[in-house]
Chain A
Amino acid sequence: GAVVSQHPSRVICKSGTSVKIECRSLDFQATTMFWYRQFPKQSLMLMATSNEGSKATYEQGVEKDKFLINHASLTLSTLTVTSAHPEDSSFYICSARPPLGWGNQPQHFGDGTRLSIL
Protein backbone atom coordinates (compact mmCIF):
# COMPACT_ATOMS: atom_id res chain seq x y z
CA GLY A 1 0.00 0.00 0.00
CA ALA A 2 0.90 3.65 -0.17
CA VAL A 3 3.66 4.84 2.12
CA VAL A 4 3.08 8.51 1.39
CA SER A 5 -0.39 9.92 0.90
CA GLN A 6 -0.94 13.16 -0.99
CA HIS A 7 -4.24 15.00 -1.01
CA PRO A 8 -6.06 16.18 -3.01
CA SER A 9 -5.16 14.34 -6.18
CA ARG A 10 -6.75 16.98 -8.33
CA VAL A 11 -8.01 20.49 -7.71
CA ILE A 12 -9.55 23.06 -9.98
CA CYS A 13 -10.11 26.55 -8.68
CA LYS A 14 -10.49 30.17 -9.66
CA SER A 15 -7.63 32.61 -10.01
CA GLY A 16 -6.84 34.35 -6.74
CA THR A 17 -7.73 31.38 -4.56
CA SER A 18 -5.24 29.85 -2.14
CA VAL A 19 -4.86 26.08 -2.38
CA LYS A 20 -3.46 23.75 0.26
CA ILE A 21 -1.92 20.38 -0.61
CA GLU A 22 -1.20 17.84 2.11
CA CYS A 23 1.53 15.24 2.18
CA ARG A 24 1.35 12.55 4.85
CA SER A 25 3.92 9.94 5.70
CA LEU A 26 1.89 6.88 6.70
CA ASP A 27 4.51 4.34 7.75
CA PHE A 28 7.37 6.31 9.24
CA GLN A 29 8.21 9.60 10.83
CA ALA A 30 9.72 11.94 8.29
CA THR A 31 11.84 14.80 9.51
CA THR A 32 12.46 15.75 5.90
CA MET A 33 9.99 15.96 3.05
CA PHE A 34 10.42 17.39 -0.42
CA TRP A 35 8.10 19.23 -2.78
CA TYR A 36 8.48 18.95 -6.54
CA ARG A 37 6.75 20.57 -9.46
CA GLN A 38 6.42 19.06 -12.90
CA PHE A 39 5.52 21.01 -16.02
CA PRO A 40 4.24 19.11 -19.06
CA LYS A 41 7.01 17.17 -20.78
CA GLN A 42 9.58 18.48 -18.31
CA SER A 43 11.47 17.12 -15.35
CA LEU A 44 10.30 17.05 -11.79
CA MET A 45 11.89 20.17 -10.36
CA LEU A 46 12.69 20.34 -6.67
CA MET A 47 10.91 23.35 -5.20
CA ALA A 48 11.82 23.09 -1.55
CA THR A 49 12.99 20.88 1.25
CA SER A 50 10.57 20.78 4.16
CA ASN A 51 12.14 20.29 7.59
CA GLU A 52 10.03 19.37 10.58
CA GLY A 53 9.98 22.12 13.16
CA SER A 54 11.97 24.61 11.12
CA LYS A 55 11.70 26.72 8.01
CA ALA A 56 11.70 25.14 4.62
CA THR A 57 14.69 25.52 2.34
CA TYR A 58 13.65 26.83 -1.05
CA GLU A 59 15.45 26.26 -4.33
CA GLN A 60 16.66 29.23 -6.30
CA GLY A 61 13.86 30.94 -8.19
CA VAL A 62 11.02 29.57 -6.04
CA GLU A 63 9.00 32.28 -4.31
CA LYS A 64 8.70 31.40 -0.65
CA ASP A 65 5.83 33.83 -0.14
CA LYS A 66 3.97 32.23 -3.01
CA PHE A 67 4.54 28.63 -2.00
CA LEU A 68 4.13 28.36 1.76
CA ILE A 69 5.40 25.16 3.31
CA ASN A 70 4.56 24.01 6.80
CA HIS A 71 5.98 20.85 8.37
CA ALA A 72 4.43 21.01 11.80
CA SER A 73 4.55 17.31 12.60
CA LEU A 74 6.71 14.32 11.74
CA THR A 75 4.04 12.93 9.44
CA LEU A 76 2.58 15.95 7.71
CA SER A 77 3.87 18.64 5.41
CA THR A 78 1.60 21.08 3.62
CA LEU A 79 2.18 23.22 0.56
CA THR A 80 -0.08 26.24 0.16
CA VAL A 81 -0.14 28.00 -3.18
CA THR A 82 -1.22 31.50 -2.24
CA SER A 83 -3.32 33.66 -4.56
CA ALA A 84 -2.95 31.11 -7.31
CA HIS A 85 -2.90 32.18 -10.94
CA PRO A 86 -3.08 30.20 -14.18
CA GLU A 87 0.72 30.06 -14.44
CA ASP A 88 0.73 28.10 -11.17
CA SER A 89 -1.16 25.28 -12.83
CA SER A 90 1.05 22.25 -12.67
CA PHE A 91 1.59 18.80 -11.21
CA TYR A 92 2.94 18.94 -7.65
CA ILE A 93 4.55 15.89 -6.05
CA CYS A 94 5.76 15.42 -2.51
CA SER A 95 8.15 12.87 -1.12
CA ALA A 96 9.27 11.81 2.34
CA ARG A 97 12.71 10.68 3.39
CA PRO A 98 12.56 7.65 5.69
CA PRO A 99 14.76 7.23 8.76
CA LEU A 100 18.15 5.63 8.25
CA GLY A 101 17.78 1.89 7.89
CA TRP A 102 14.09 2.00 7.04
CA GLY A 103 13.71 0.20 3.74
CA ASN A 104 15.96 0.64 0.72
CA GLN A 105 14.50 3.76 -0.85
CA PRO A 106 15.95 7.22 -0.26
CA GLN A 107 12.55 8.84 -0.76
CA HIS A 108 8.95 7.70 -0.96
CA PHE A 109 6.71 9.66 -3.31
CA GLY A 110 3.11 10.68 -3.15
CA ASP A 111 0.82 10.24 -6.15
CA GLY A 112 0.89 13.92 -6.98
CA THR A 113 -1.67 16.72 -7.17
CA ARG A 114 -2.86 18.12 -10.45
CA LEU A 115 -3.57 21.82 -9.87
CA SER A 116 -5.56 23.72 -12.48
CA ILE A 117 -6.21 27.43 -12.02
CA LEU A 118 -8.92 28.93 -14.20
Chain B
Amino acid sequence: GNSVTQMEGPVTLSEEAFLTINCTYTATGYPSLFWYVQYPGEGLQLLLKATKADDKGSNKGFEATYRKETTSFHLEKGSVQVSDSAVYFCALEKPNTGNQFYFGTGTSLTVIP
Protein backbone atom coordinates (compact mmCIF):
# COMPACT_ATOMS: atom_id res chain seq x y z
CA GLY B 1 0.00 0.00 0.00
CA ASN B 2 0.83 3.66 0.13
CA SER B 3 1.78 5.49 3.30
CA VAL B 4 3.96 8.27 4.66
CA THR B 5 5.79 8.19 7.98
CA GLN B 6 6.90 11.51 9.31
CA MET B 7 9.01 12.52 12.25
CA GLU B 8 6.86 13.34 15.25
CA GLY B 9 7.00 16.73 16.81
CA PRO B 10 6.76 19.18 18.18
CA VAL B 11 10.16 20.54 17.26
CA THR B 12 11.51 23.67 18.91
CA LEU B 13 14.62 25.35 17.54
CA SER B 14 16.46 28.56 18.10
CA GLU B 15 16.69 31.02 15.26
CA GLU B 16 19.47 30.18 12.75
CA ALA B 17 19.58 26.53 13.82
CA PHE B 18 19.68 23.70 11.30
CA LEU B 19 16.40 21.91 10.63
CA THR B 20 15.77 18.35 9.56
CA ILE B 21 12.34 16.75 9.47
CA ASN B 22 12.46 13.11 8.47
CA CYS B 23 9.99 11.57 6.07
CA THR B 24 9.90 8.05 4.66
CA TYR B 25 7.33 6.54 2.39
CA THR B 26 5.90 3.29 1.15
CA ALA B 27 4.42 3.24 -2.31
CA THR B 28 3.56 1.09 -5.24
CA GLY B 29 4.98 2.46 -8.44
CA TYR B 30 6.78 5.79 -8.61
CA PRO B 31 4.97 8.50 -6.69
CA SER B 32 5.64 12.21 -6.64
CA LEU B 33 6.67 13.56 -3.24
CA PHE B 34 5.72 16.83 -1.60
CA TRP B 35 6.22 18.97 1.45
CA TYR B 36 3.29 21.15 2.45
CA VAL B 37 3.35 23.85 5.11
CA GLN B 38 0.50 25.18 7.20
CA TYR B 39 1.13 28.52 8.88
CA PRO B 40 -1.00 29.41 11.90
CA GLY B 41 -4.55 30.18 10.86
CA GLU B 42 -3.97 29.35 7.21
CA GLY B 43 -4.53 26.48 4.81
CA LEU B 44 -2.02 24.04 3.42
CA GLN B 45 0.48 25.51 0.97
CA LEU B 46 2.86 23.64 -1.27
CA LEU B 47 6.43 24.20 -0.09
CA LEU B 48 8.35 22.01 -2.54
CA LYS B 49 8.06 18.88 -4.59
CA ALA B 50 10.04 16.22 -6.45
CA THR B 51 8.64 14.01 -9.13
CA LYS B 52 11.35 11.40 -9.66
CA ALA B 53 14.29 9.75 -7.97
CA ASP B 54 17.28 12.00 -7.18
CA ASP B 55 15.25 15.15 -7.86
CA LYS B 56 15.80 17.91 -5.34
CA GLY B 57 12.94 20.22 -4.51
CA SER B 58 13.79 23.61 -3.04
CA ASN B 59 11.97 26.74 -1.98
CA LYS B 60 12.47 29.51 0.60
CA GLY B 61 15.75 27.94 1.72
CA PHE B 62 14.15 24.53 2.31
CA GLU B 63 15.37 21.49 0.41
CA ALA B 64 14.40 17.84 0.10
CA THR B 65 15.86 15.12 -2.12
CA TYR B 66 13.86 12.19 -3.46
CA ARG B 67 15.85 9.13 -2.37
CA LYS B 68 14.45 5.99 -3.91
CA GLU B 69 17.05 3.70 -2.34
CA THR B 70 16.06 4.76 1.17
CA THR B 71 12.45 5.71 0.28
CA SER B 72 12.98 9.04 1.98
CA PHE B 73 12.27 12.70 1.37
CA HIS B 74 13.73 14.51 4.37
CA LEU B 75 13.17 18.24 4.69
CA GLU B 76 16.15 20.44 5.56
CA LYS B 77 16.91 24.09 6.07
CA GLY B 78 20.28 25.44 7.03
CA SER B 79 19.15 28.40 9.10
CA VAL B 80 15.58 28.66 10.33
CA GLN B 81 13.77 31.89 11.09
CA VAL B 82 10.93 32.71 13.46
CA SER B 83 8.67 33.06 10.42
CA ASP B 84 9.24 29.37 9.61
CA SER B 85 7.15 28.38 12.63
CA ALA B 86 4.38 26.21 11.17
CA VAL B 87 3.22 22.64 10.72
CA TYR B 88 4.97 20.71 7.95
CA PHE B 89 3.36 17.79 6.13
CA CYS B 90 5.13 15.26 3.95
CA ALA B 91 2.93 13.74 1.25
CA LEU B 92 3.01 11.44 -1.72
CA GLU B 93 0.83 11.49 -4.80
CA LYS B 94 -0.32 8.07 -5.82
CA PRO B 95 0.74 7.51 -9.43
CA ASN B 96 -1.91 7.67 -12.12
CA THR B 97 -4.81 8.38 -9.81
CA GLY B 98 -5.64 11.94 -10.64
CA ASN B 99 -3.94 13.36 -7.55
CA GLN B 100 -4.80 11.05 -4.69
CA PHE B 101 -2.57 12.15 -1.85
CA TYR B 102 -1.29 10.36 1.23
CA PHE B 103 -0.11 12.63 4.03
CA GLY B 104 2.14 12.21 7.01
CA THR B 105 0.95 13.22 10.46
CA GLY B 106 2.53 16.65 10.31
CA THR B 107 5.40 18.07 12.35
CA SER B 108 4.93 21.24 14.31
CA LEU B 109 7.95 23.54 14.26
CA THR B 110 8.42 26.46 16.60
CA VAL B 111 11.40 28.74 16.11
CA ILE B 112 12.29 30.94 19.04
CA PRO B 113 14.31 34.16 18.75
Contact = CB atoms under 8 A, between A and B. Distances in A.
Contacts of A54: none
Q: Which of B41, B43, B100, B104 has the most CB of A within 10 A?
A: B43
A86 interface: no
A111 B34 CA distance: 18
Interface residues of B, number: 21
A42 B105 contact: yes
A26 interface: no
B8 to A, nearest CB: 8
A109 B103 contact: no
Interface in B6-51: 32, 34, 36, 41-46
A46 B93 CA distance: 12
Contacts of A44: 89, 101, 103
If over half of B's interface residues share one DSSP class (helix, strand or loop), that class is named, otherwise mixed; here it is strand
Contacts of B32: 106
Interface string B73-91: 0000000000000000100
Contacts, number: 49
B64 to A, nearest CB: 16
B98 A97 contact: yes
A43 B99 contact: no
A97 B34 CA distance: 15
Interface of B: 4, 32, 34, 36, 41-46, 89, 93, 98-106
Interface of A: 2, 4, 6, 32, 34, 36, 41-46, 49, 93, 95, 97, 104-107, 109-112
Given A41-B105, A109-B44, A110-B43, 12 more contacts: A32-B99, A36-B103, A42-B105, A43-B4, A43-B102, A44-B101, A44-B103, A97-B98, A106-B32, A106-B93, A109-B36, A109-B43
